[in-house]
Chains A and B, each alone.
Chain A
Amino acid sequence: AQTVTQSQPEMSVQEAETVTLSCTYDTSENNYYLFWYKQPPSRQMILVIRQEAYKQQNATENRFSVNFQKAAKSFSLKISDSQLGDTAMYFCAFMRGQAGTALIFGKGTTLSVSS
């Protein structure tokens, strides 16, 4: 069975600084996807970034980038130039590479950005 672990329940950062959220996962699959979702106080689940396991290049979406270490089964999220609107709970999620399979979520990291 696959598991996803987020070891940082809470983190805080000042505006304009950079912060890294950690995620590790366990799987015996070779074809899978990893995601970071953001859940602000509005509770909407927003997809931040996606990484295909077969791609060696780390995914980047504007201020968000990942450090994907496949051998170490690590998938961290780096947020650059943090903004107040980045305040949210962040979930790391794993999904097998098969249509219709479920997302397996970590327990989340609450990120607070202050001015």
Chain B
Amino acid sequence: DTAVSQTPKYLVTQMGNDKSIKCEQNLGHDTMYWYKQDSKKFLKIMFSYNNKELIINETVPNRFSPKSPDKAHLNLHINSLELGDSAVYFCASSLKLGQAYEQYFGPGTRLTVT
């Protein structure tokens, strides 16, 4: 059973299009995240949700909009895609267990904008 899953794993699209990436976790976690890994492999937080409430919203263009319909899902919608949006997008989830906050990552979605 996949713990954190993302669809699609690969996404190739043209500039100007709108696309969504879906994330689901079956770990019973209460917090979910979106990270972006750029072409130099640098990973940076974009958003996080705790119990469907947005708690982290980094400096990201407002073309990016996260949506959490329930605790197990966090989707990322991107409007008017640009060449610079090409990257790998990772979803992650975590649960507070005592003092531990381990984050578990999905397989990533490689987005290529042409």
Could you list which residues of chain A lie within 8 angstroms of chain B, going by C-beta atoms?
33, 35, 37, 39, 42-47, 50, 52, 54, 89, 91, 95, 97, 99-105, 107-108
A40 to chain B, nearest CB (A): 12
- Residue numbers in A under 8 Å from B96 (CB-CB): 99
B49 to chain A, nearest CB (A): 8
A45/B105 contact (C-beta < 8 A), A99-B96, A107-B42 known: yes
Which residues 79-95 in B have Cβ within 8 Å of A in the complex? Answer: 88, 90, 92, 94
Chain B interface, >50% SS class: strand
Which residues 5-58 in B have Cβ within 8 Å of A in the complex? Answer: 31, 33, 35, 40-45, 48, 50, 55-56, 58
Instruction: Indicate if the CB atoms of A43 and B100 lie closer than 8 Å.
Output: no
B44 to chain A, nearest CB (A): 7
Instruction: Indicate if the CB atoms of B101 and A45 lie closer than 8 Å.
Output: no
Count chain A CB atoms within 10 A of each CB in B41, B43, B44, B92 and give the residue with the most.
B43
A95/B56 contact (C-beta < 8 A), A102-B48, A105-B43, A107-B41 known: no
- Residue numbers in A under 8 Å from B99 (CB-CB): 52, 54, 97
A103/B45 contact (C-beta < 8 A), A47-B104, A52-B99, A95-B101 known: yes
- Residue numbers in A under 8 Å from B41 (CB-CB): 39, 89, 107-108
20 A-B residue pairings within 8 Å (CB atoms) = A37-B105, A43-B88, A44-B107, A45-B105, A47-B104, A52-B99, A52-B100, A91-B43, A99-B31, A100-B48, A101-B48, A102-B35, A102-B58, A103-B35, A103-B43, A103-B45, A103-B103, A105-B42, A107-B40, A107-B42
Instruction: Indicate if the CB atoms of A50 and B100 lie closer than 8 Å.
Output: yes
Residue from A43, A47, A97, A102 in contact with B56 in the complex, judged by beta carbons closer than 8 Å: A102
Which residues 58-73 in B have Cβ within 8 Å of A in the complex? Answer: 58
Q: Which 10 A-B pairs have the closest CB atoms?
A: A102-B45, A45-B105, A105-B43, A100-B50, A100-B31, A99-B96, A100-B55, A43-B108, A108-B41, A100-B48
A84 to chain B, nearest CB (A): 21
Residue from A45, A52, A89, A104 in contact with B90 in the complex, judged by beta carbons closer than 8 Å: A45
